[in-house]
Amino acid sequence: MKKAAVLLFLFALVIIIIPAAVVIPFTHKAVGEQKQSLSSNRTQSAAQQSLITVSVYRSEQKQTDHVDLNDYLVGVVGSEMPAKFRVEALKAQAIAARTYIMARIIENSDVRVTDTVQNQVYHSPEELKKIWGKDYDWKMKKVKKAVDGTHNQVITYNGKLISPVFFSTSNGQTENAKDYWTNDVPYLKSVPSPWDKLSPRYRNTKSISIRAVEQALDINLANNQGVLGKVVRKTSTGHIALYEIAGKRFTGRQVREKLKLSSTDFQLTRVDNQIKVLTMGSGHDVGMSQYGAEGMAREGKAAEQIITYFYKGTQISKMTVKGEKEIAKK
């Protein structure tokens, strides 16, 4: 039996046999709406921890690696967030990464995730060594400190693991989930993120050929120079909700994804045979801003404060894996 399957089986046993002792979040408030084991215990043996492995499909190697949870988290945090960031920001990233993968494993014990942005970007230690070069030792030490320092911590909302989406940089305000994905998520609400102005990705420019824009949007552009298209509606955060161009209307998300723009806060201008694009921010803008997390960490905020700021109404909970012998003793 695969380790992940064993884990899910043990979760089920604990819930059935000793329900009063299972789902106890870090704040000691009872919950119980999800098949997961959360506890206020602060330590856990290496043997228990190794029950959890992650099946990662390596997109370049075309193979599946089975990686210990903590090793997987180190690979994700080291790939998703600059290791030069403050430790508290890296800790927030580690908690988000752990929450994401544990929710997937609990939902389906045989789940296999990719090593790309489709799930979470992951690189092995050998790959990170090539990427980081001479900085490998100090960067790896720092990332491991962040993962170890958040041992078994996950993010919950009303007793359930959340979907901890994150992105690089906002335009100064994160977006409501309903304004980007249409579905309203109570903990993915817009919040100010003024720290993002310090990000190198806060203001972005690129050029796209007229032909490429026409093909991507399936339109025919006139020869008019200057501002291209018009904003029909913006969200409350200044992101484009609806855009009209060449007689067709698109959501801001559609334009962003079809033209591969940095964000939905954009401006298109035609200059000769090129479309000049200006965007503010980088990413879908929903959830935790990574540069916002770094800004908060610089101000002395702890990982928990960062998490609960960007994911409204959530709390940090402790996850405990119960072994068969431990359950039998109960």
Ordered alpha helix ranges (H), 260-302: 290-298
Contact 12, 37 (CB under 8 A): no
Task: Identify the CA nearest to 57 among candidates 95, 107, 104.
Answer: 104
SS3 of 201-232: CCEEEEEEEHHHHHHHHCCCCCCCCEECCEEE
Angle, alpha carbons 167-256-227 (nearest 5°):
130
Tens of each residue's pLDDT in the chain, 330 residues: 444 444 443 343 332 222 222 232 323 232 333 444 444 344 444 444 557 899 999 999 999 999 999 999 999 999 999 999 999 999 999 999 999 999 999 988 889 999 999 999 999 999 999 999 999 999 999 999 999 999 999 999 999 999 999 999 999 999 999 999 989 999 999 999 999 999 999 999 999 999 999 999 999 998 888 889 999 999 999 999 999 999 999 999 999 999 999 999 999 999 988 999 999 999 999 999 999 999 999 999 999 999 999 999 999 999 887 654 443 333
At 173, phi and psi to the nearest 5? Answer: -150, 125
pTM: 0.82
Domain ranges for the chain: 3-164+287-329, 196-280
Report the distance separating Cα 179 and Cα 234, nearest Å. 10
* Paired sense of beta strands 112-114 and 53-58, if any: parallel
Q: Tell me, letter by letter, the H, E, C secondary structure of 70-84.
A: HHHHHHHHHHHCCCC
Phi, psi for residue 232 in degrees, rounded to 5? -85, -40
Q: Are 14 and 327 in contact (CB under 8 A)?
A: yes
> How far is residue 316 from each of residues 197, 250, 254, measured CA to CA in Å?
28, 38, 34
Q: Which of 283, 317, 287, 290 is nearest to 88 (CA)?
A: 290
Which pair of structure tokens corresponds to residue 102?
A: 């544990």
Question: 280: which 2 tokens?
Answer: 């503010």
| R_g of the chain computed on alpha carbons | 22
